[in-house]
Each structure stands twice: as structure tokens, then as C-alpha cells.
Amino acid sequence: MSDHQDRIDQLHQKLELLLSKQEGFAKELMKLYQEIEDVKKLRPDQFFSEKIITEPVSETPEIKEVQETVEIEQAVVQEIIETPIETPAAQPAAPQKVKKPKGKSNLEKFIGENLINKIGIAITVIGVAIGAKYSIENELISPLTRIILGYLAGLGLLGFGIKLKAKYKNYSAVLVSGALAILYFITFAAYSFYDLFPQLMAFALMLVFTIFGVVAALNYNKQVIAHIGLVGAYAVPFLLSNNSGNVATLFAYMAIINVGILVISFKKYWKPLFYSAFIFTYLIYSSWMFFSYEETEHFALAFIYLTVFFAIFYTAVLAYKLIRKEKFLKSDVVLLLLNSFIFYGLGYSLLANHETGKDLLGAFTLINAIIHFVVSVILFKKKLADRNLFHLVSGLVLVFITIAAPVQLDGNWVTLLWTLQAALLFFIGRTKGVSFYEYLSYPLMILALLSLTQDWGMGYGGYYSTTELSPIFNSYFLTSALFLAAFGFINWINHKHSISSEGKPASKLPVIMSFVIPVMLLFVSYMAFYLEIEQYWKNLFAESEVNLNPSDTYSYGEHNYDLQDFGSIWLFNYTFLFLTILAFVNIKKLKNRVLGISNLVMGVAVSFFFLTAGLYILSELRDSYIDRAFSEYYEIGIMNIGIRYISFAFFAILLITLIKLSKQAFMNVNLKIPVEIITHISILWILSSELLNWMHLAGSDQSYKLGLSILWGVYALFLIGLGIYKQRKYLRIGAISLFGITLAKLFLYDIASLNTISKTIVLVLLGVLLLIISFLYNKYKNVISDETEK
């Protein structure tokens, strides 16, 4: 029993010992758990770079069991540490956001550092203006004192702004620009309100301010100063104008300002500043030219300063880029082209309206070519520009050389300029891979076509026009020929150099234009000769005028209207020939399905117009031949009848070619049935017209009744036979429909006006035809049945 009690005491002692150590173990465990939590917060790549720091625990025999337990827990912890934390594949771990210290927002920065000072300087300028105005109205101080105080305020603000430049550059620039505005205003007030300065002195002072503005803008490297100086400078001529009409001073002043812009362009390439000067200059110049220009007084002055402005802006566009050897951007190219076009257009207008200048249009065009040639040589020898700019300037040389001859002959220069410029830009854009140039050529193509149509409207008048042009050998046809040459070149480039997408989705615009360009080419090809043929007959019609009753007060002229009809028929013949050639070329060479379908549609449309309007015109010529009105003045010959067979020949050739075209493999469409139906309708229509023609020549008055009914019945019988022989059901149905129309015409129209013999003839003939048709159906019923089963 005592042994048992001793054992219990020993166990109690051990328990007390363990309890005494429990507090230390608890601290160690808490520290260990804390380190586990810290490890969990680390990224996976940091697991092995961190070490768990633990304080060694002394071993005693009494606590061996507890140590074993701790070792097991440490092993578990180590396993947790060595196991990488997996993150979902689809959702990568978001980077930890680093909190930034709070500061001024961008909006606050913009308002505080930029907007407020500009508003402040504007209010200051307004305040000075209001103060000056108040002092003027209330006569508080003398005029001279007011101006002196104004200058002192402006100069004081200017000095204060310059002093602040070292520490507050942006703020200083705003103050300097405001000071310039005050100085401009005070100078204006001194000249306009008080006449303290003569006009020349006022100009000189403002010129000084402008120069200072240029220097300050370069020194500060701020456009705002240059803009204030520029706006003020261009406002000067209007503010100081006394309606003296001294335009030479105005243009000299503008030239000096633009030279300042040119000087800036050698150092800086501030596009907004250049755009402003460009727009102001040409706007002021063109406004003066349209509203105040007097040819006798201003021609030399206008032409000289136009050339000066062109040269300044041309040099300004090239200066900075060439000096810094930077690549030309799209906007640079547009400015270069726009400057050239404005100079040439305004210069052409000046010369065209001058008695001597109109003979120098070709020379003026060549001078433009020489200018661009010199620039291109400099660019090439000095290697100052990229290849695209060299091609552009060289192309301008070719454009002006090409249009020099037609410009000297006539005024179609706009069309030629746009056409050749479009060809040049398209060539550079497509062959050199510069898509911007190609896109720039598209509106020029449209403008060139619109301009060409306008030229046609001006050159080719109506039948009663007094303008007579030599066929073919005239400037309008030459313009059309050059247009065709340019667009033929564009079309060739379009097919030779395919659109390069360079891995990007192909743009829709070049694809659309690849269809539009051939359409424009075909349209102009057709219209160029169409208008020449029309003009030829117009000339004959105008020359055919005969003055009737010349001795009478009420005499009047008469024309040979058969010439108008001949002209219309030859235009039909030309159209047939054009479509025939187009279809033939497509069959033999192009094999283009879209072109083929378009050709068929146009052929059907033209055929319809010929079968209606054309045949009517031919009947007018026949009636003129029969009536022979005005035969004593005009020769009315057999050609009035013969022209119809020439037209039928052209029409037949077109019809045969279109049938052949519809059967081509590249058409990939089954048009056999509609083509055959249209062919038979056309044949029947022409046969009907021919029957009417000969019956009219024979003097018959039954042509629209007896003759047509018999013809239609016979042709219906022919279609029945052909439909049975060829096993074509649609021909037989068409024949039956034609016979039904014939019978309806017979009973509703013919019989009412026919005499007994005519009624007998037509009824018997149609009855016999019906019997023959019925016989054919019965005889070949097996053939028809087999066709239906198939």
C-alpha cells in the first residue's frame, strides 16, 4: 500500500514539475505559431529565404515526452513551410497595392499652376482696358499721360515677368504674354483714339513688339508668347486701318511677321503657330483679292507678295525638318501640298484675268515645276529628307510639267492638277507602302472626276449652243485623254501592287476603291468619245440654220432637225460598239465576273432604250424621208432609211457578244433562259418595227393592225416549233402567251376598224396558225411528255 502511495507521490511531483514548465512551453509555442503566421504571409519564392528562429529548449529527462510532442509539431510546421502555396491558374495573384502619400491631384495642379495665372493675366489686361476707358470717359488725366501710364503698366508687368523667369518659368511666360497684349492695346489707343502716333510709327512699335515676342517665345520655349504676339500682329492692320488702301504696307508688314515665323521654324516646330500664320496670311490675302483687288493698280503688287508668302511658308515647312533631319509626318505633307495648290490657284487666277498674264499661264506652270525641281535636287544631293518626301517633290515637278501645255491652251488646269496629283500620291502610297499618301489620293480622284464633268458641262453645250469645238482636237478632249492616261496608270498600279495588310486586317477603303477606280476609268472612256460624237452633230446642226423670209421684219431661222436624230442614232451605235468591245476584251483577256455581269446589265438597259426611243427616232427619220419637209433647203436622202440597218448591225453584234459572254465559265451564272427570252423579244420587236417601216413606205394604213397581228402569230408558231425541237418548255409557253396577246389585240382593236376582206384574211390566217400549233402539239406529244418526265 505504501509502495502504491509512493508511486502516486512521484507522479504528483512529475506533474508539478511539468506544470512549472508549462508556462515556458506556452511562450515558446506562441512564438512558434506567430512565426508560422508570418511565413504564410510571405510569397512562395520567399519561403526558403526566411528562417524560423527558435530559442533552444534545454533537455531534461523529465520532459522528454513533452519534447517529443514539440518535435512532432515542428515537423508539421516545417511541412507547411516547404509546401508551396498554390494559386488558381486562371486568377494570378494580384500585386499588393502600395499606398501613395496623398498630394495634389492632377486637376488641382492644372488649376493652381496653369489655369489661374492665365485667368489672372486676362483679368489684369481687362482691368487695364477698363481703367483706361474710364479715365478717357471722365477725362481724369490727359491723353498723353494715359498712354504713358499704359506703357509703364505694360513694361512694368513685362519686367516683373522677366524677373520671375528663373524660379517660375511658366508663370513668367504668362505675364510676358499679357504684357505684350497690353503694349499692343496701348499702341492702338495712342494711334486710333488720340492721334499721338503717325501710322508708320505705330506699325514700327508693334513690329518691335512682335520681334520681342518671337525672341521671348524662343527664349522661354513657350508657344503661348508667340501666339499672343502673332494674334496681336495680325490684328494690327485692322485695328490701325484708316481705309487709306495702302495695301503695300499691309503686305510688307505681313511678310515681316511671316519671316519671324520662319525664323522660329529654324529652331522650333510649333505647328499651331505655323497653322495660325498660314491661315491668317492666305485668309487676309484672298479676302483682299476677292473684294478689293483692282487689276490695273494691284496686279504686280499682288503677284509679288503672293510669291513671297509662298516662298516663306515653303521654306518654313522644310526648314526645321531638314535641319534636324526628322522624318516628315502626314500633316507636313498636307501643308506642303496645300501651300503649292493655293499659290498656283491664286497665281493662275491673277494671270488668267490679266490681258498679258493670260498668255503666260504655261510659263507660270513651268516656273512652279522649276521651283519644285530645285528643291528636289537639293533634297537629293544633300540627302536632307526621307525618300517619300523626295518622291513627292519630284512628283510635283512632273505634275506641273505635264499640265503646262494644256494650261496654256485652256483653263482645265484644275482637273489636270488634281488628276495627276492623285496619280502621283497613289503611286507613292501603294508602291512605297505609305498608306497615308494612298488615302490622300482618293478624295483627289473624286474631285478630279467632278472637275472633269464640270469642264464637260462648260465645253460641250446644248444643241443651241453657239460654242463650236473642233472634234478631237480641242482642250476638253485632251483633258479627258490625260485623265484616262492617269487613271489607267492608277489602275495598273492597283493590279500590279496588291494591298499589303502586314498582318493587320485589310482596310475596306482600298478594297472599295479597287472597284471604284475601274468604274471611273470606264465611265470617262465612254463619255470622252460620246461627247465628241455629240459635239460633231451639234456643229452640223448649228451650221444648218437657214434664214427664212430674210426680207421680212419677222424673219426667223430654221434648222435641219434630221441632224439631231442622226446624232442620237450614232450615239446609240457608239454605245453598242463600246459595250461590244468591253465584252470582247473581258472574254479574251480580263475574265472578270463583276465586269461581265455589269456589262450584261448595261447591255440590256441600252437595248431597252434602243427598242423604245431608238426605234422611235428611226421612225422620225423615215417620216421625214416620206414627207420631205424643207427638202428645198436640206438634202434628205436615202440615208434616212439606211441608218436603221447600220444600227441593226451594231445591235446584232452586241447581242451576239453578250450571248457569248453569258456562256463563259468565269461568269459562273446560268443565264441561258433569260438571255434567250430577251433575244427573242428583241428580234420580234425589231421585226415589228421593220414591218411598220416598210408598210409606211408602201403607204399602207393597216400597219398597226393587220400586219402586226399576222407577224406576231407567225412568230408564235415559230417559237412553238423551236420549243418542241429544242425541248424548251419556256419557249412554248412564251409562244402561247404571245398568241393570246395577238388574239386579244385582234378582237379588241383590229376588227373594229378592218374591212370585211381584211377581217377575213386575218381571221383565216390566225385560225390556220392555231391549227398548225395544235397539230404540232399532237404530233410531238411524246417528245413533250418525255421532256416533262425528265
pLDDT in tens, 3-24: 666 677 777 777 777 776 776 7
pLDDT (tens digit per residue) in 276-325: 888 888 888 888 888 888 888 888 899 999 999 999 888 887 776 777 67
Q: What is the pLDDT of residues 666-687, one digit of tens each?
A: 998 888 899 899 999 999 999 9
pLDDT tens-digit series, residues 150-202: 888 888 888 888 887 777 777 777 778 778 777 877 787 777 667 787 877 87
| Cβ–Cβ under 8 Å, residues 577 and 584 | no
C-alpha cell read off for 669: 451564272
Read off the amino acid at residue 356. T
Is the separation of the CB atoms in 557 and 547 below 8 Å? Answer: yes
Q: What per-residue confidence (pLDDT) applies to 81? A: 46
Residue 776 has what pLDDT?
A: 79
State how far the alpha carbon of 359 is from the alpha carbons of 293, 371, 405, 407, 653, in Å. 20, 20, 12, 10, 49
Grid coordinates belonging to 339: 501651300
Q: How would DSSP label each residue in 661-696?
A: HHT-GGG-S--HHHHHHHHHHHHHHHHHHHHHHHHH
pLDDT of residue 669: 86
pLDDT tens digits, one per residue of 433-468: 878 788 888 988 998 998 899 889 888 865 545 556
Q: What per-residue confidence (pLDDT) applies to 785? A: 63
Helices (H) and strands (E) in the chain, counts: 27, 2
- Unique residue bearing C-alpha cell 501592287: 497
348-400 tens-digit pLDDT: 889 988 888 888 888 888 888 888 888 777 767 766 556 666 767 777 777 78
User: How far is residue 9 from each of residues 15, 57, 60, 206, 728, measured CA to CA in Å?
Assistant: 10, 27, 20, 116, 127
| 254 CA to centre of own chain | 34
As a three-state string, the secondary structure of 605-625 is: HHHHHHHHHHHHHHHHHHHHH
The tens digit of pLDDT for each residue in 743-774 reads 888 777 777 776 777 777 777 777 777 778 77
Interaxial angle between packed helices 169-192 and 223-239, expressed in degrees from 0 to 180 and rounded to the nearest 10: 10
Mean pLDDT for 98-104 is 45
Mean pLDDT along residues 219-238: 66
pTM: 0.58
DSSP 505: P
Helices 169-192 & 116-138 angle (0-180, nearest 10): 20
DSSP-assigned beta bridge partners for residue 722: none
From residue 19, alpha-carbon distances to 13, 27, 58, 66 in Å are 10, 13, 16, 12
What is the 8-class DSSP label of residue 467? -
**Residues listed for the chain:** 790
Q: Is the pLDDT of residue 786 over 80?
A: no
As a whole number of Å, the CA-based R_g of the chain is 48
**Half-sphere exposure (CA, 13 Å, Cβ side) for 684?**
23
- Mean pLDDT (whole number) for 68-97: 48
